[in-house]
């Protein structure tokens, strides 16, 4: 018979005494070595942890929320983080209020459970366990952190304010530290540590995203757009009488654009390209909207710096090179095309090279994702006419985003399809 804790109550004594005396095993069993006993104990503990992961995470979130007083903005940040991870946030509907006397016989944990606003939906409890069974849902702290900081935060909040970035990262980091401190899910500690590292990375890269978004277009690409009928052509009004006292900086004059393009071709291009530009024979031969992943950043060499400093007397910004490969944003929806369009051959480049000012290259990070309108000149020079968006190097788009506003069909009198009945539809009769 196993040892019994004398301080325990009768019910607990009976429960502990009966452990191990299952009828499926003989009463007199062979003696198990201490080593094998420890191995079995660790194995059973691991299985138990896997089976109880989601209830533990749910309880952790509820207790974390109950012990903190969030202001409305921080609460919104945290709610969107939980929602992206598949956690249902908000009050439980149709539960009714709590009577003043209803909580008299409850302890603090029971009251917190009843009043909780964060819980794991029933459809999530079939989360897949590797090697055991398959499910569409998995526990992945790192991917949620990547999707939250690289897509959700830039879409829903103002990341141009450094304080806002700090608030976003500190909110998630504090929650992850709470999980580690209380050993909520030790089987996923590696993921939690990785997610916490993403918080530190996001704090640096989101600031870089803001700087790149402001500076990437630059003078050279704006000048090309102005001269070759792009987005910036005709936007400059600084030479108009009514605008001379308004200090408007939108767009660029044709004279300055020609100077910048010729200087760029002289410093970065070949003699043939410069001569072709001098003769006025440049034109756009191709335009496409693309996603670009930054693969290499080349700062200006000493020869280029010397050319801009001495020949141009420092009047223009020095150019470097940005190289990248084609990238498809997983958030983009597929366009509907006719059969003729689908069969039409497309000639698309896989590798691109752009000339970009050095002050923009300082903030670029290898792996960053860009969304651009790219134009190709007949001399072989490629420039971006418009910069639509800039993303972090760890950009991740989760399928959870597509289902964020989805509301499932509830049971109505036992009929899951809003009361639909095939027999009623066939007969055309119903009881109202």
Tell me the DSSP string of 374-420: EEEETTS-EEEEEEEEEE-TT----GGGGGTT--PPPPBTTBTTTT-
Range of the domain at 247: 216-331+346-391
Q: Report if residue 67 sits inside a domain.
A: yes
State the chain's mean pLDDT as an integer: 78
**Quick one: average pLDDT of 253-266?**
91
Of 76-85, 163-172, 204-213, 331-340, least confident by mean pLDDT is 331-340
Residue 428 lies inside a defined structural domain of this protein: no
Name the pLDDT band for 357 (thresholds 50, 70, 90).
very high
Region 294-307 average pLDDT: 93
- Cα 271 from Cα 220, distance rounded (Å): 18
207 and 223, same domain (yes or no)? no
Strand residue runs (E) in 33-108: 87-89
Picking from 72-86, 95-109, 319-333, which range would have the lowest pLDDT averaged per residue? 95-109
Q: Minimal CA–CA distance to 324: which of 302, 358, 356?
A: 356
Confidence of residue 275 (pLDDT cuts 50, 70, 90): confident
Residues 239 and 157 in one domain: no
Higher pLDDT, 206 or 405: 206
Q: Which of 197, 260, 265 is nearest to 226 (CA)?
A: 260
In a domain, 418, yes or no: no
Q: Is residue 196 part of a domain?
A: yes
- Within this chain, do residues 129 and 159 fall inside the same structural domain, yes or no? yes
Q: Indicate the DSSP class of residue 173.
A: H
Q: Which of 201-210, 261-270, 412-421 has the highest mean pLDDT?
A: 201-210
**77 and 140 belong to one structural domain:** yes
Residue that terminates a domain, selected from 211, 238, 254 = 211
The pLDDT score that the predictor gives to residue 279 is: 81
Count of structural domains, the chain: 2
The pLDDT of residue 3: 39
Looking at residue 205, its pLDDT comes to: 96
Q: Can you give the C-alpha Rg of the chain in angstroms?
A: 31
What pLDDT score was predicted for residue 104?
Answer: 67
171 and 234 assigned to the same domain = no
* Pair (266, 182) in one structural domain: no
Mean pLDDT value across residues 192-217:
95
Of 179, 196, 211, the residue that ends a domain is: 211
One domain for residues 197 and 249: no
Last residue of a domain, one of 180, 211, 242: 211
pLDDT at 392 over 90: yes
Average pLDDT for residues 125-140, to the nearest whole number? 60
pLDDT score of 424 more than 60: no
Task: Write the Ramachandran bin of 184: left for phi over 0, alpha for psi from -120 to 50, otherwise beta.
Answer: alpha
- In this prediction, residue 420 has a pLDDT band, given cuts at 50, 70 and 90, of very low
The answer to whether position 291 is within a domain reads yes
Listed range (36-50, 122-136, 331-345, 418-432) with the worst mean pLDDT: 418-432
Task: Specify whether 141 is located in the same domain as 229.
Answer: no
Residue with the larger pLDDT of the pair 221 and 342:
221
Residue 385 forms part of a structural domain: yes
In three-state secondary structure terms, 53 is helix
Do 368 and 318 share a domain, yes or no?
Answer: yes
For the chain, percent of residues with pLDDT exceeding 70: 68
Q: Is residue 133 part of a domain?
A: yes
Identify whether residues 191 and 260 lie together within a single domain.
no
Give the closest residue to 215 by CA, choosing from 317, 352, 351, 353: 317
Do 245 and 151 share a domain, yes or no? Answer: no
Q: Is 368 helix (H, G, I), strand (E, B) or coil?
A: coil
Report percent pLDDT > 90 for the chain.
44
CA distances from 248 to 227, 236, 244, 349 (A): 19, 8, 8, 37
**The predicted structure's pLDDT at residue 169:** 96
Tell whether 201 and 248 lie within a shared domain. Answer: no
pLDDT at 89: 81
Is the pLDDT confidence value at 178 over 90?
yes
Q: Give the per-residue pLDDT at 52.
A: 72
Kindly state whether residue 225 falls inside one of the protein's structural domains. Answer: yes
């Amino acid at each position: 018979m196993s040892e019994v804790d004398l301080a325990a109550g009768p019910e607990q004594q009976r429960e502990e005494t009966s452990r191990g005396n299952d009828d499926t095993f003989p009463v007199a069993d062979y003696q198990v070595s201490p080593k094998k006993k420890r191995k079995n104990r660790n194995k059973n503990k691991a299985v138990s942890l896997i089976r109880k992961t989601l209830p533990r995470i749910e309880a952790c979130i509820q207790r974390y929320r109950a012990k903190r007083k969030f202001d409305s903005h921080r609460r919104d940040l945290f709610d969107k983080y939980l929602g992206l991870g598949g956690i249902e946030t908000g009050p439980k509907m149709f539960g009714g209020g709590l009577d003043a006397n209803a909580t008299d016989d409850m302890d603090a944990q029971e009251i917190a459970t009843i009043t909780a606003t964060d819980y794991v939906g029933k459809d999530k409890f079939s989360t897949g366990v590797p090697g055991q069974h398959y499910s569409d849902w998995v526990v992945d702290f790192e991917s949620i952190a990547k999707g939250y900081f690289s897509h959700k935060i830039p879409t829903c909040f103002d990341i141009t304010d450094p304080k806002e970035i700090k608030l976003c990262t500190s909110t998630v980091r504090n929650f992850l530290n709470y999980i580690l401190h209380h050993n909520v899910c030790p089987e996923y500690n590696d993921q939690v540590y990785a997610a916490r590292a993403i918080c530190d990375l996001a704090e640096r890269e989101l600031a870089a995203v803001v700087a790149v978004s402001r500076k990437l277009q630059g003078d050279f690409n704006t000048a090309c757009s102005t001269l070759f009928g792009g987005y910036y052509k005709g936007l400059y009004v600084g030479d108009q009488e009514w605008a001379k006292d308004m200090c408007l900086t939108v767009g660029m004059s044709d004279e300055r654009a020609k100077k910048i393009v010729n200087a760029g071709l002289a410093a970065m291009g070949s003699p043939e390209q410069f001569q072709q530009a001098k003769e006025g024979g440049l034109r756009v031969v191709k335009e496409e909207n693309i996603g670009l992943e930054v693969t290499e950043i080349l700062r200006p060499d000493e020869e280029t710096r010397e050319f801009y400093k001495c020949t141009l007397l420092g009047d223009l910004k020095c150019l470097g090179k940005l190289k990248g490969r084609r990238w498809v944003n997983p958030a983009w929806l597929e366009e509907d095309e006719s059969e003729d369009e689908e069969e039409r051959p497309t000639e698309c480049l896989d590798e691109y090279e752009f000339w970009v000012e050095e002050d923009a290259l300082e903030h670029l990070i290898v792996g960053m994702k860009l969304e651009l309108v790219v134009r190709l000149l007949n001399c072989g020079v490629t420039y971006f006419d418009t910069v639509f968006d800039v993303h972090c190097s760890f950009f991740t788009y989760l399928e959870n985003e597509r289902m964020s506003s989805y509301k499932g069909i509830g049971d109505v009198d036992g009929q899951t399809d809003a009361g639909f009945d095939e027999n009623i539809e066939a007969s055309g009769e119903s009881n109202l």
